Amino acid sequence: MDAAFTEEQHEIRRTLRELLVKRCGPDEVKSAVRTPAGYDTELWQQLAGRLGLPGLALPTAYGGVGCGPTELALACEETGRAVLPSPLIATAALAAPLLLALGSERQRSALLPALAAGELTATLAVPGGQLATALALTGPNDGGWAGGGRAGGIQARRVAREGAAAAARDGGRAVGGGWRLYGEAGQVLNGHTADVLVVAAHTGGFARSRTLLFLVRAEGGSAARTSAESGVPGLLRTRQTAMDETRPQARLELREVPAELLGEGDGEGEGDAAAVVRALAETGVTAATALAAEAVGAADTALARTVAHVQQRVQFGRPIGSFQAVQHRLADLYVRVQAARSAAYYAAWSAGGGPSAPEREGAAEPGVGALALAQALETLREVAAEAVQLHGGIGFTWEHEAHLYFKRAACDELLLGPVHRLRARAAEEAGLFPDGAGERGGSGEPGGVPAPGRTAATVEV
């Protein structure tokens, strides 16, 4: 195994870091998140056009750069350093892999080149705040997380061809497949501006219950439209108030929204649901790797700025960084950051099948993505908390940059955690609990992991 990065990978990192240092300081971040889009659209176009950032992991046949999860993770580490508000994770780590894995050739050719060029943005909409479950990061994704039965979640139903034609005559969009979506999804990353929505919806009722993915095209969504001007009949998009403004989220309300089935066929076959489950799980590995690298970048910068502060802050006639207690705390954080970085890099290498085996892309080791994400999120949380503490009085003010990292740590864990469930899922996938002791709820402890000194058989439920 060759763990060294190539010159091309180093160049991606250097170029992106130089650009973000010039264009994305703490003040620029705070200004960008308060725009209608929630990010600097001009900077995003520059990142897409100059560096091909959203197309890093897409094949060249679809306008991408032709790299893999490792390069995407390196880019995310640099965007994490700047706490960059952008649709990168939603577009490149969530929606694009699903389009590539499940989309028909027509859908890929129509959407992926535009996504790679930054002309369109996309996101994944999962109802009920079940994004982590849908991606198989905190539990198996073969249940009814998209809304089972006749109510709840997002429901999809077929309409007759005549109905679709009538909708087209009335000004609606007659899309292939004749599907309509009804329901609601919250906590959708960049959902208020995404041009392409990949929506997970339940269909089949009780008899043939299954979850499929659908495309809702809302071109022009990123052009600072209001929530009422989504461009799609029946679709209402509202930006939600989130503690971490650098990770904008939205609530989607769908009322008989015309949609197109993602992939070939009419969606009636049982094999489609199994393919969706596999594709979501594989996308979960890519997304976890990218988010882990992003958290490592944020933690590294927060630690560096804290070290710089304690070297300058004088107390009792000497810099506080000269006190042994402070040095021990910073040394512990440094070790944790390096360990999290190693875990994130290994997860990226594993997701790509290793640099010497590109044909194995997606064949990641079981649980490696969830484990790397758990370690990175926990590290960022601890580094951010120590940064607030060691900055003293100014660190406790919302205006100080330390809170950018604190909010990112807290909200990312709420979105994709908690950490103990990520670890429990990784242990389950790795086969550490062959008798089912590690399954969620199987031991009576959070995430199914017995407390120290207690076996699964003795835990009281």
Instruction: Tell me the mean pLDDT in the region 35-47.
Output: 95
pLDDT digits (tens, 9 = 90+) for 8-34: 999 999 999 999 999 999 999 999 999
CA distance to 52, 69, 73, 294, per residue, from 114 (Å): 11, 20, 21, 24
Which residue type, as a one-letter code, is found at position 461? Answer: V
Residues 6+ apart with CB under 8 A from 222: 37, 41, 87, 120, 121, 193, 194, 195
Q: What is the pLDDT of residue 20?
A: 95
Closest Cα partner for 301 from 33, 84, 71, 82?
82
What are 160's two structure tokens? 């007759």
Which pLDDT band holds residue 107 (cuts at 50, 70, 90)?
very high
Bridge partners for 157 per DSSP: 180
Closest Cα partner for 213 from 225, 201, 231?
201
Whether 119 and 91 have beta carbons less than 8 Å apart is answered as no
348: left (phi over 0), alpha (psi -120 to 50) or beta: alpha
Instruction: Tell me the mean pLDDT in the region 134-150.
Output: 78
CA distance 210 to 178: 18
CA distance 194 to 230: 10
Which pLDDT band holds residue 427 (cuts at 50, 70, 90)?
very high
Q: Is the pLDDT of residue 362 over 70?
A: no
Tokens 């990061």, located at residue: 137
Q: Is the pLDDT of residue 207 over 90?
A: no
Least confident range from 236-245, 247-256, 307-316, 351-360: namely: 351-360
CA distance 56 to 94: 13
Q: What is the pLDDT of residue 359?
A: 42
CA distance 89 to 95: 9
What are 385's two structure tokens? 């908390």
Cβ-count burial of 225 within 10 angstroms (0-12 exposed, 13-18 middle, 19+ buried)? middle
User: Could you give the angle at which helices 324-351 and 69-81 cross, rounded to 10 degrees?
Assistant: 150
pLDDT, averaged across the chain? 84
pTM (2 d.p.):
0.86
Closest Cα partner for 284 from 152, 372, 154, 398?
372
Q: What is the pLDDT of residue 128?
A: 86
Q: Is the pLDDT of residue 174 over 90?
A: no
Q: Is the pLDDT of residue 111 over 80?
A: yes
Closest Cα partner for 137 from 350, 348, 284?
284
Whether 143 and 211 have beta carbons less than 8 Å apart is answered as no
CA distance 188 to 239: 9
Structural domains of the chain ordered from first start: 277-357+365-430 (1.20.140.10)
CA distance to 177, 370, 375, 379, 422, per residue, from 419 (Å): 40, 9, 8, 11, 5
Least confident range from 18-27, 80-89, 225-234, 242-251: namely: 225-234
Q: What is the pLDDT of residue 175?
A: 45
Instruction: Tell me the mean pLDDT in the region 234-247.
Output: 93
Q: What is the pLDDT of residue 446?
A: 43
Q: Is the pLDDT of residue 86 over 70?
A: yes
Q: Residues 240, 246, 396, CA angle at the centre, nearest 5°?
A: 105
How crowded is residue 291: how many other Cβ atoms within 10 Å of its Cβ? 25
Q: What is the pLDDT of residue 208?
A: 73
